């Protein structure tokens, strides 16, 4: 079975600062993918970034980067230069051999001026 753990129910960050959202995972699959999604209050799920388990380099997408530490089974999301529009729920998810995307409990990020 696969499991995602997000231990931060809520995070605050000041505008223009960087913030790290934690994610740890558990899986017995030798090959897997890790994802981060953003869910604003409207409910839509917005794909942010992906990291494959065999990728040597940490993934980056604009202001988003993924701090992947395979040995520690962690895949933290780093958002640089936070903006007010970054306020939302953030979900970490894992995809393994079952082809099912399993989500963590989420972290609510609030960016203040």
Partner 1 sequence: GAVVSQHPSRVICKSGTSVKIECRSLDFQATTMFWYRQFPKQSLMLMATSNEGSKATYEQGVEKDKFLINHASLTLSTLTVTSAHPEDSSFYICSARDQGAGTPEAFFGQGTRLTVV
User: Shortest approach of partner 1 to residue 44 CB, angstroms?
Assistant: 5
Residue 13 as a binder of partner 1 (CB under 8 A): the answer is no
Tokens representing 110 are: 């609030």
Full DSSP string of 84-111: GGG-EEEEEEEE-TT--EEE---EEEEE
Among 44, 62, 70, 112, binds partner 1 (CB under 8 A): 44
> Interface residues for partner 1 in 80-99 (CB under 8 A)?
91, 95, 99
Residue 68 as a binder of partner 1 (CB under 8 A): the answer is no
* Nearer residue to partner 1 within complex by CB, 33 or 74: 33
Interaction site with partner 1 (CB under 8 A): 33, 35, 37, 42-45, 47, 50, 52, 91, 95, 99-106
């Amino acid at each position: 079975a696969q499991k995602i753990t997000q231990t931060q129910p809520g995070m605050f960050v000041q505008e223009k600062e960087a913030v790290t959202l934690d994610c740890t995972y558990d899986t017995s699959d030798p090959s897997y993918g890790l994802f981060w999604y953003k869910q604003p209050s409207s409910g839509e799920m917005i794909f942010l970034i992906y990291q494959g388990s065999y990728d040597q380099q940490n993934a980056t997408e604009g202001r988003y980067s993924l701090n992947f530490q395979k040995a520690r089974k962690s895949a933290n999301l780093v958002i640089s230069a936070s903006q007010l529009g970054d306020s939302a729920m953030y979900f970490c998810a894992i995809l393994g051999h079952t082809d099912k995307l399993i989500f963590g409990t989420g972290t609510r990020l609030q960016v203040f001026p």
